[in-house]
């Protein structure tokens, strides 16, 4: 549950639109917030959206992209050496 105080001008407009569209004021506010959040998500870059996740689960192995062939070869050799 959220309570909010609106400037008189916004409250008047909210009342007019609510009456004209026959929609509750709560529904108008919900739709407005949903539109605002949708727009907010679109204005952030992919980097900004994932910034808190980058490096979070790092392996601390800095050479993974350079040594993947050797590691794969070693794993396959280990698997089929029996």
Identify the pLDDT of residue 48: 83
Report the distance separating Cα 42 and Cα 22, nearest Å.
30
Task: Flag whether 29 is in a domain.
Answer: yes
In a domain, 20, yes or no: yes
Residue 7's domain comprises 1-53
CATH of the domain at 11: 1.10.1220
Task: Assess if residue 23 is contained within a domain.
Answer: yes
Does 7 reside within a domain?
yes
Residue 80 lies in a domain: no
Helices then strands, counting H and E runs in the chain, come out as 4, 0
Q: Domain count of the chain?
A: 1
For residue range 3-56, list pLDDT tens digits in order: 999 999 999 999 999 999 999 999 999 999 999 998 887 887 888 888 888 877
């Amino acid at each position: 549950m959220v309570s909010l105080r609106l400037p008189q001008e916004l409250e008047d407009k909210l009342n007019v639109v609510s009456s004209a569209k026959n929609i509750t004021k709560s529904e108008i506010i919900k739709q407005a917030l949903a539109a605002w959040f949708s727009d907010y998500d679109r204005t952030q870059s992919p980097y900004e959206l994932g910034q808190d996740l980058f490096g979070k689960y790092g392996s601390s192995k800095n050479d993974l992209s350079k040594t993947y062939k050797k590691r794969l070869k070693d794993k396959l050799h280990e698997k089929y050496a029996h």
